[in-house]
Structure 1
Amino acid sequence: MKKSRKVLSSGLVALMAAASLAACGDAPEEDGGTGSGSDSQASDFLPCIVSDAGGFDDKSFNQLSYEGVKQAADELGVEFKGVESNSENDYAPNLESLVGQGCDTIVTVGFALAAATKESAKANPDIEYVLIDDSADGGDDGATFDGKADVENIKPLLYDTAQAAFLAGYAAADYSKTGVVGTYGGMPFPTVTIFMDGFKQGAEYYAKEKGKDIEVVGWDGKNGSFTGGFEANEAATSTAKQLIDQDADVILPVGGPIYQGAVTAIEDTGKDVVMLGADADVFETDPSTQDVIFTSVLKNMKVSTYEAIMDAGNDNVDFTPYIGTLENDGVGIAPFHNFEDKVSPDLQGELDDIKAGIIDGSIKVNSYLG
């Protein structure tokens, strides 16, 4: 299935040509780089990555995945290529472009690229694909998972973010002064609603355990509030305002840059509202949010993408789907940062106990992954 890769001594490293991408999307400013490599060797291995419409500077999952590829390429001592998609119409052409440039492993970021990834993988069985946020099985609905991709040269990277969002929902309910917390998404993809599911379950668990009334707005488990895309536009702002108008004082936007709409909504309303980040620790990736970021629901995509590329570069790919969980630190929640001294002194201990309960199965979190 794999191309043979000739390993060269450091004195014979061939510099990869920085060919411009012929695809419809835009190349990021840093198309690739070389590193010394931990073993002072480099190879002709060429890893590549294509974003979804959010781009590599989304302060979220595209950026984390890109950083993982870059870190691995640096350690392997090879160049890498990255191309951004401006819309879904770019997915197939971008993949075709990367295939034409001789990529050995192609990382595709996001559920939206699943269909194009599967088509490209079927047509190019000698190339290894790493598909983030989709199981590549059971069709293209993203919600079916039987443990194995239906295209043998695709490595799925999946994240049971409902587990981490459960902790965030519990913390949000504990912090809320109004007794109303809310969440909204970009589009109703399973990889979006899995956050919303966990958030809702965590808030409801808090209400049950504490005997308090907590209302979750924006998602009832089947239907909810969505902006219709993943852009930081007026829809993202107005959707956040709708939740705030329902008295939500803690909100979780799920969908890359749409969190910026929540920041704008909080500023415009002037109310005492905080928000949660998704995927990355938004407090760190976007310092402009630090006054309103309560915590973030984390998908450790940088690490898992890095590990997948390192395995591919060393001809050691296992195509068994990776599933990030609380137990393997594939998901989690960020520190409370500026709100550390504003949360209940008992909250962290309670979260630790809940995390242990989720890991040992005594606390059940429902998601399409388990």
Structure 2
Amino acid sequence: MKKTASLMLMLVLSISLVLSACGVDKKNNNGGSQGGSEPEVVSDESGKDFKIGMVTDVGGVNDRSFNQSAWEALQRLSKETSAETKFLESKGEADMEPNLNNFVREGYSLTWGIGFLFTDAILKVANENPDAKLAVIDAVVDAPNVASVTFAEHEGSFLVGVVAGLMSESKKIGFVGGMEIPVIKRFEAGFVAGVKAANPDANVKVVYTGTFDKPDQGKSAAATLYNDGYDIVFHAAGGTGNGVFNEAIERKKNGEKVWVIGVDKDQSLEFGDEVTLTSMMKGVDAAVHKISKDLIDGNWTSGTQELGLKDDAVGLPETSKKNVPEDVLKKVDEFKAKIISGEIVVPGE
């Protein structure tokens, strides 16, 4: 019996040593495990004493767009610095303030609100917690403990508008927006201006679904546009825009020649270049990573940063070359140079 007990004890100790050697990565979580991903060696441990939280808007963390880009940036930061990162999803606007407060109460080093809809919630939480640090994307919050990041979406949207204006065979181009808020209106205004600059005879039809988290409504809006002969649709609708892609994919399978212009990130990587003409990329990931890393490095500052074409914060991805002809891309570069120089001022509303 003593021999058997000794063997069992040795076995338990051996298993414990193996599990310890494997090392589960707890630094990068969303309230659960990342599931199936292999642990990666971190670059350093400069962020080991930092906790950075992120609250999504109603589109959710897997919107394949805006929120996902921000979360991917924090995941990368966690791997690079050992900082602890976590997100909370907002199912509605009523969840935003409680979710922000959740991170503040837990003593997080920095709490992000992703999207214009956080404007009021961030301001309230910041004023009530002056020692907390917060940051927000697509909104300007005037508080000494808030870093605000906005983008010149209208400038990047102008460029994809140029692509659509030059490549539409029907000269009928659609725009599907989510909620009709200032940031989405900037997408619309820039896009329409770009289409008209490249092709004054083109017609642009604008549709708003009123939501960022309903792919079925995006699909329905796209179906109506494609049925009416609109062959290129640009969406700025978050998760709702996934439905635009779903409709285009179905039609492509049936032999129809329709295109989608993606938003916020290179959506050809998600939906394929068979339907993605190009995307209006927005450096949400770069901004979230930079400001969060600045905090770890001791360089964090409050205030507002606006990022545009001159900062390479908006524009087209390299994958555009797959579907956009060289002469069209050359025209895009010409317009880009004129916008940066100030020769062209893109309307923002």
Tell me the TM-score range normalised by the shorter chain. 0.7 to 0.9
> How far does residue 92 in structure 1 lie from its aligned partner after superposition?
1.5
Distance in 1 (alpha carbons) for counterparts of 2:82 and 2:31: 21
Distance in 1 (alpha carbons) for counterparts of 2:137 and 2:273: 28
1:49 touches 1:108 (CA, 8 Å); kept in 2? yes
1:323 touches 1:330 (CA, 8 Å); kept in 2? no
Q: Structure 1 residues 28, 301: CA separation in 2 closer, same or farther (over 3 Å shift)?
A: farther
Secondary structure at the aligned position of 1:346 is classed as helix
Q: Are 2:196 and 1:204 equivalent residues in the alignment?
A: yes
> How far does residue 41 in structure 1 lie from its aligned partner after superposition?
4.0
Q: Structure 1 residues 61, 267: CA separation in 2 closer, same or farther (over 3 Å shift)?
A: closer
Specify which of 150, 155, 178 is matched with residue 147 of structure 2. 155
List per-residue Cα deviations over 1:247-295 (Å, max 9, x = no partner). Answer: 21110111111222212333555532101001010111x1x44310000
Distance in 2 (alpha carbons) for counterparts of 1:160 and 1:108: 19
CA RMSD after TM alignment: 2.5
1:35 touches 1:78 (CA, 8 Å); kept in 2? no
1:241 touches 1:265 (CA, 8 Å); kept in 2? yes
Distance in 2 (alpha carbons) for counterparts of 1:53 and 1:344: 36
> How far does residue 36 in structure 1 lie from its aligned partner after superposition?
6.4
Q: Structure 1 residues 206, 337: CA separation in 2 closer, same or farther (over 3 Å shift)?
A: closer
Match of 2:298?
Answer: 315
Match of 2:105?
Answer: 100
Q: Structure 1 residues 100, 34: CA separation in 2 closer, same or farther (over 3 Å shift)?
A: farther
Q: Structure 1 residues 41, 258: CA separation in 2 closer, same or farther (over 3 Å shift)?
A: closer
Distance in 2 (alpha carbons) for counterparts of 1:335 and 1:79: 32
Q: Counterpart of 1:190 in structure 2: which amino acid?
A: P
> How far does residue 167 in structure 1 lie from its aligned partner after superposition?
0.6
Q: With structure 2 as the length reference, what TM-score do the two structures score?
A: 0.84
Q: Are 2:167 and 1:194 equivalent residues in the alignment?
A: no
Q: Counterpart of 1:258 in structure 2: which amino acid?
A: T
> How far does residue 160 in structure 1 lie from its aligned partner after superposition?
0.5
Match of 1:234?
Answer: 216
Match of 1:49?
Answer: 54
Q: Structure 1 residues 83, 202: CA separation in 2 closer, same or farther (over 3 Å shift)?
A: same
Specify which of 119, 126, 131 is matched with residue 121 of structure 1. 126
> How far does residue 185 in structure 1 lie from its aligned partner after superposition?
0.7
Match of 1:142?
Answer: none
Q: Counterpart of 2:151 in structure 1: which amino acid?
A: Y
Q: Are 2:347 and 1:366 equivalent residues in the alignment?
A: yes
Unaligned runs of at least 5 residues, structure 1: 1-14, 21-25, 137-149, 219-224
Q: With structure 1 as the length reference, what TM-score do the two structures score?
A: 0.80
Secondary structure at the aligned position of 2:280 is classed as strand
Q: Are 2:248 and 1:266 equivalent residues in the alignment?
A: yes
Specify which of 225, 235, 239 is matched with residue 257 of structure 1. 239
Match of 2:10?
Answer: none
Q: Counterpart of 1:193 in structure 2: which amino acid?
A: K
Q: Structure 1 residues 29, 110: CA separation in 2 closer, same or farther (over 3 Å shift)?
A: farther
Q: Structure 1 residues 190, 42: CA separation in 2 closer, same or farther (over 3 Å shift)?
A: closer
Q: Counterpart of 2:302 in structure 1: which amino acid?
A: F
List per-residue Cα deviations over 1:291-345 (Å, max 9, x = no partner). Answer: 10000001111111100001111221122312121111111112355743xx444
Q: Counterpart of 2:212 in structure 1: which amino acid?
A: F
Q: Structure 1 residues 99, 361: CA separation in 2 closer, same or farther (over 3 Å shift)?
A: same
Match of 1:145?
Answer: none
Give the count of matched residue pairs. 320
Greater Rg, structure 1 or structure 2? 2
Distance in 2 (alpha carbons) for counterparts of 1:267 and 1:328: 33
Q: Structure 1 residues 128, 216: CA separation in 2 closer, same or farther (over 3 Å shift)?
A: same
List per-residue Cα deviations over 1:40-80 (Å, max 9, x = no partner). Answer: 54442211111111111111110111111222233222212
Match of 1:216?
Answer: 204
List per-residue Cα deviations over 1:165-190 (Å, max 9, x = no partner). Answer: 10100101111000111101111011
Distance in 2 (alpha carbons) for counterparts of 1:166 and 1:338: 18
Match of 1:3?
Answer: none
Q: Which has the higher helix share?
A: 2
Specify which of 244, 264, 277 is matched with residue 279 of structure 1. 264
Match of 2:21?
Answer: none
Secondary structure at the aligned position of 2:130 is classed as coil
> How far does residue 16 in structure 1 lie from its aligned partner after superposition?
11
1:174 touches 1:344 (CA, 8 Å); kept in 2? no
Secondary structure at the aligned position of 1:188 is classed as coil
Comparing 350-359 with 237-246, greater Cα deviation is found at 237-246
> How far does residue 17 in structure 1 lie from its aligned partner after superposition?
8.6
Specify which of 110, 114, 121 is matched with residue 109 of structure 1. 114
Match of 2:317?
Answer: 334
Match of 1:180?
Answer: 172
> How far does residue 81 in structure 1 lie from its aligned partner after superposition?
2.2
Q: Counterpart of 1:214 in structure 2: which amino acid?
A: A
